[in-house]
Amino acid sequence: MAEAVTSVRPEMGARDGEMIDPFGRHVTYLRVSVTDRCDFRCVYCMSEHMTFLPKRELLTLEELNRLCSAFVAKGVRKLRITGGEPLVRKNIMWLFDQLGRHLETGALDELTVTTNGSQLTKLADDLYASGVRRVNVSLDTLDEKKFKAVTRWGDLGKVMDGIDAAQKAGLKVKINAVAVKGVNDTEYDDMIRWAHGRGMDLTLIETMPLGEIDEDRTDQYLPLSVVRADLMERWTLTDDMHKTGGPARYVKIEETGGLMGFITPMTHNFCESCNRVRLTCTGDLYMCLGQEDRADLRTPLRTSPDDAALYNAIDEAIGRKPKGHDFIIDRRTKTPAVSRHMSVTGG
């Protein structure tokens, strides 16, 4: 259950169903992890032998639909479905179809998904039909051997076919790559040419210290300030005002005309404009990716068929949204800043 309340100012709470946190930030973006399971085992995300939640602990798809719909009623305009690997959850297209209704009524602006791409050849057309128009595909390298090394279980060819299928289905694809020292640090030029050549934006993400993995995170961490300085030796980067309400800062690469994003939780504090909260597949709401505080929404969801208790629990949780996170990779103890894995909270 929830931990100590930090600086709640009730007068700044929800008005007319809106969610406004104690620092005046409107919460309009919900990321939902629909499963903690995955068909890959990326080295920065999971250990090779993960213990996953027992299936009975998971919210059903019906419950996820009800919860997401409650958030839409409370002012969420953008929903991102993530995981674990969201597209490996059984019958997941049912949830997309249900949530797509909120696009039709205009209550929701956007329904998106973050995926490793392994299921896109099968599901790209269905995603488009449900109302999804943009997908983020995580891809750290274009080299087959390195891809195997970083994902442990992934197949690059399948992901590439998935990206083809997504573009063919009419989905706009954005590529996310985690910058991993010694793995893809010599590849960014090739990745820029490849992604921009296919009309896809490319965003680099710094590794974040989330959850126990088998490897040493200080060996993986590559500050994007270093990457950016290196890129500037060969490319012309112009700051771009492209705003997603997210933590990425964008530059235009003049030579390609494409956009490149940098997500730098370790070196840049992006919390002032944070408009998002994260829901896990067990119904816990995390108000910040980098903090342990969470609110249990499963209990109010299951104890009452009407949504009044749920709305109260959501308001109370938003009243505890913290000002920001404080990620560090502790070089002495090598322990993660936050003990849960990214696949639990959803990236």
- Answer yes or no whether residue 115 interacts with ligand SAM by CB under 6 A: yes
Query: For ligand SF4, which residue of 31, 71, 81, 84 counts as binding (CB under 6 A)?
Result: 84
The span of 48-56, 112-120, 275-283, 294-302 binding ligand SAM (CB under 6 A) equals: 112-120
Residue 207 sits in the site that holds ligand SAM (CB under 6 A): yes
Restricted to residues 26-65, the positions that interact with ligand SF4 (CB under 6 A) are: 38, 40-42, 45-46
Q: How near is the Cβ of 333 to ligand SAM at its closest, in Å?
A: 17
Least spacing, CB of residue 19 vs ligand SF4, in Å: 27
By CB under 6 A, which span of 79-87, 105-113, 254-262, 266-274 interacts with ligand SF4?
79-87
SS (H, E, C) the chain: CCCCCCCCCHHHCCCCCCCECCCCCECCEEEEECCCCCCCCCCCCCCCCCCCCCHHHCCCHHHHHHHHHHHHHCCCCEEEEECCCHHHCCCHHHHHHHHHHHHHHCCCCEEEEEECCCCHHHHHHHHHHHCCCEEEEECCCCCHHHHHHHHCCCCHHHHHHHHHHHHHHCCEEEEEEEEECCCCCCCHHHHHHHHHHCCCEEEEEECCCECCCCCCHHHHECCHHHHHHHHCCCCCEEEECCCCCCCCEEEEECCCCEEEEEECCCCCCCHHHCCEEEECCCCEEECCCCCCCEEECHHHHHHCCCCHHHHHHHHHHHCCCCCCCCCCCCCCCCCCCECCCHHHHCC
User: Is 275 one of the binding residues for ligand SAM (CB under 6 A)?
Assistant: no
Nearer to ligand SF4, 77 or 181 (CB): 181
46 binds, among ligand SF4, ligand SAM, none (CB under 5 to 8 A by kind): ligand SF4
- Per CB under 6 A, residues contacting ligand SF4 are 38, 40-42, 45-46, 83-85, 116, 138, 343
- Per CB under 6 A, residues contacting ligand SAM are 38, 44-45, 82-83, 85, 114-116, 138, 176, 178, 205, 207-208, 210, 342-343, 347
